[in-house]
Structure 1
Amino acid sequence: MRILLLEDEFLIAMDVEQLCRDNGAREVVTVKDLDEIEQDKVAENFDAAILDVMVSGTSTLGFARRIRAQRLPFIFASGYTDMDEVFQTFPGIPVVDKPYSGGDLIEALAAAISRLRGSGRV
């Protein structure tokens, strides 16, 4: 699997990257700013994504809408405190609160992938 990690905190990104690799990811691409990624082709280049709600002071919710439309499995992993919009806009999308355990993160990502795999996406 090739995982997109949208995270602007260096140490967290390193931990999540290693966690994903330890659990079978072939590659983890960390992006700390939305300008670093070609947003219209994410589903062509990745198998799943882990998104922080805010990166470099910018909301990732618009990006999340794009990848949901592309039917890319994703989860939110965030310490952002005002999550009402996330829960309302993305019902059924797993949200793992920081600080999180590695097991919680991997379980949420696996559930997101399984949900779309059952619908024929992955």
Structure 2
Amino acid sequence: MPPLLDGLRILVLEDELLIAMDVEQLCRDYGAAEVVTARQLTEVDEQELPSRFDAAVIDLMLGGVSTLDFARRLSRAGMPFVFASGYSNPDEIEGSFPDVRLVTKPYSGDDLIEALAAACGRAKAA
């Protein structure tokens, strides 16, 4: 059985460097072909997102800036993603993104990978 993220190209939006590095390594360990991390939304070229990436892991706040508008654009583009955040009010997320998993920090690597794989249609959501 191939790894859960086998061959996928993943975008990681995370402003805490150590967490970003951990998530990048996790994705690679689970077979991701490419993992790109960005610490600010300004580092992301939205025009190339759907063609360059298969899925994304998004922190809800990057340097104090909400990523919800960015997530809405991803959703409209049909790009699967999960939220990974220490954000403590999931109601706003569930209201705007009922089908998107919120993996709360501190999270286990398995939880994050399973949520991401499920978003990509590769595994059953827990």
TM-score by length of 2: 0.88
Name the SS for the 2:18 alignment partner: helix
* C-alpha distance in 2 between matches for 1:3 and 1:79: 20
Residue identity matched to 1:108: A
Contact 2:82 2:101 in 1 (8 A): yes
What percent identity do the matched residue pairs reach?
59
Provide the alpha-carbon RMSD of the alignment.
1.0
1:13 deviates by 0.5
The match for 1:53 among 60, 72, 75 is 60
Q: Which consecutive unaligned segments of at least 5 residues does structure 1 have? A: 116-122
Q: Deviations over 1:54-88 (max 9, x none)?
A: 00110000000001111011000000123321111
* C-alpha distance in 2 between matches for 1:60 and 1:42: 15
Q: Where do 4+ consecutive residues of structure 1 move more than 6 Å?
A: none
* C-alpha distance in 1 between matches for 2:88 and 2:50: 28
Corresponding residue for residue 121 of structure 2: 114
Matches within 5 A, 1:91-102: 91-102=98-109
Corresponding residue for residue 13 of structure 2: 6
* C-alpha distance in 2 between matches for 1:5 and 1:60: 12
Residue identity matched to 2:88: T
1:36 deviates by 0.7
TM-score by length of 1: 0.91
**Count of aligned positions:** 115
The match for 1:41 among 16, 31, 48 is 48
